[in-house]
């Protein structure tokens, strides 16, 4: 009779302890993409971790692992500290240094998007450089500089248009005034005034430059009457006038007028673009004189009909 072997338990003979000791794989018992599995994992965490918003809102262990990888990558990315009120000048300079282009070399936009941009007066290079230097001082990045540059150019155009409109209005007012005063003698008196003007300015070029640089002066009734009076007193002693423009004494010299406008812009760009309220009374007066002269030049260039 053979020796009986005692069963080891259960239908198959294995005891509960033996079954429990058999190895199992994670893949067969845990789904890392399952919300249910993550819920079980979440419940096993201490309350301090459960309170974390990121852990609480995560849907799976797989997603949690992705977040960990992304967080590690972000740590290697350079981040700027938020400016603080008590920062020193060195800290501010370090902050701005991370925003400016390399070597403070801003790229000048080649195209402007505002309406009428093609009519924007040319700005001198030294004025543009002042804008670049100011942008670097303020710590602007290239995108901010692009916006500042476009607004700067647009304001320049608006200023020239406004000045031109003012001059045209003033010139027309002067013309109406002298025409009303001289009445039917207007054409004859104007011709005589021009005769005297040409005779004197041929000997005194500075006088011609002074008058023709300002359309308001060239059309002012007082100026016209002075030269008309000179013509009356001088009589035949004056040479015949070879220039009798319809508006005062301004000769049509487009190149000369444009050159004068460009010279005025390049030499006074910073003052022209300044906010009048931020200037001293003397600078404010000087700025207005420059704008008036600039507008007068445009009126000479595009005289009203």
Whether residue 111 lies inside any domain: the answer is yes
Q: If pLDDT is split at 50, 70 and 90, which confidence band does 139 have?
A: confident
pLDDT of residue 241: 47
Domain that holds residue 104: 97-155
Whether residue 120 lies inside any domain: the answer is yes
Helices and strands (H, E) in the chain, number of each type: 15, 0
Whether residue 150 lies inside any domain: the answer is yes
Collapsed DSSP state (helix, strand, coil) of residue 150: helix
Whether residue 141 lies inside any domain: the answer is yes
Q: In sequence order, what are the residues at sequence separation of 6 or more whose Cβ sits closer than 8 angstroms to the Cβ of residue 251? A: 208, 212, 243, 245
The pair of three-digit structure tokens given for residue 24, joined into one six-digit string: 């199992």
pLDDT of residue 140: 87
Q: If pLDDT is split at 50, 70 and 90, which confidence band does 294 have?
A: confident
Closest alpha carbon to 194 in 147, 245, 155:
245
Better pLDDT: 279 or 72: 279
pLDDT of residue 57: 82
Looking from the CA of 250 toward its CB, the CA atoms found within 13 Å total 27
Q: What is the pLDDT of residues 184-234, one digit of tens each?
A: 888 888 888 888 888 888 888 888 888 887 888 888 999 899 988 888 887
| The total number of structural domains that make up the chain | 1
Better pLDDT: 272 or 300: 272
Whether residue 34 lies inside any domain: the answer is no
DSSP 256-279: HHHHHHHHHHHHHHHHHTS-GGGS
Q: If pLDDT is split at 50, 70 and 90, which confidence band does 17 have?
A: low
Q: Which long-range contacts (CB under 8 A, 24 or more apart) does 116-122 make?
A: 116/157, 117/153, 117/154, 117/157, 119/157, 120/153, 120/154, 120/156, 120/157, 121/156, 121/157, 121/160, 121/261, 121/262, 121/265, 122/262, 122/265
CA distance linking residue 128 with residue 111, whole number of Å:
15
Whether residue 252 lies inside any domain: the answer is no
Whether residue 117 lies inside any domain: the answer is yes
Whether residue 85 lies inside any domain: the answer is no
pLDDT of residue 300: 61
């Amino acid at each position: 009779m053979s020796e009986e072997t005692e069963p080891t338990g259960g239908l198959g003979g294995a005891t509960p302890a033996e079954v429990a000791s058999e190895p199992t794989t994670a893949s067969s018992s845990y789904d890392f993409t399952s919300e249910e599995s993550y819920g079980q994992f979440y419940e096993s965490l201490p309350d301090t971790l459960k309170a974390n918003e990121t852990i609480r809102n995560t849907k799976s262990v797989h997603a949690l692992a992705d977040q960990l990888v992304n967080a590690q990558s972000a740590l290697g990315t350079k981040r700027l500290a938020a400016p603080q009120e008590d920062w020193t000048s060195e800290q501010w300079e370090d902050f701005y240094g991370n925003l400016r282009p390399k070597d403070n070399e801003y790229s000048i936009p080649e195209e402007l998007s505002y309406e009428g941009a093609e009519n924007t007066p040319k700005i001198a290079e030294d004025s543009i450089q002042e804008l670049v230097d100011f942008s670097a001082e303020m710590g602007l990045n290239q995108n901010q500089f692009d916006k500042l540059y476009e607004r700067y150019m647009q304001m320049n155009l608006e200023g020239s248009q406004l000045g031109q409109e003012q001059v045209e209005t003033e010139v027309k007012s002067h013309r109406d005034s002298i025409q009303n005063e001289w009445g039917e003698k207007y054409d004859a008196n104007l011709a005589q005034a021009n005769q005297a003007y040409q005779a004197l300015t041929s000997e005194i070029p500075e006088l011609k430059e002074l008058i023709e640089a300002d359309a308001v002066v060239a059309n002012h009734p007082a100026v016209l009457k002075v030269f008309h009076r000179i013509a009356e007193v001088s009589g035949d002693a004056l040479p015949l006038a070879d220039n009798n423009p319809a508006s005062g004494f301004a000769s049509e010299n487009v190149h000369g007028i444009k050159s004068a406008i460009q010279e005025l812009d390049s030499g006074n760009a910073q003052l022209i673009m300044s906010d009048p309220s931020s200037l001293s009374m003397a600078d404010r007066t000087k700025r207005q004189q420059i704008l008036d002269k600039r507008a007068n030049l445009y009126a000479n260039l595009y005289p009203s009909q």
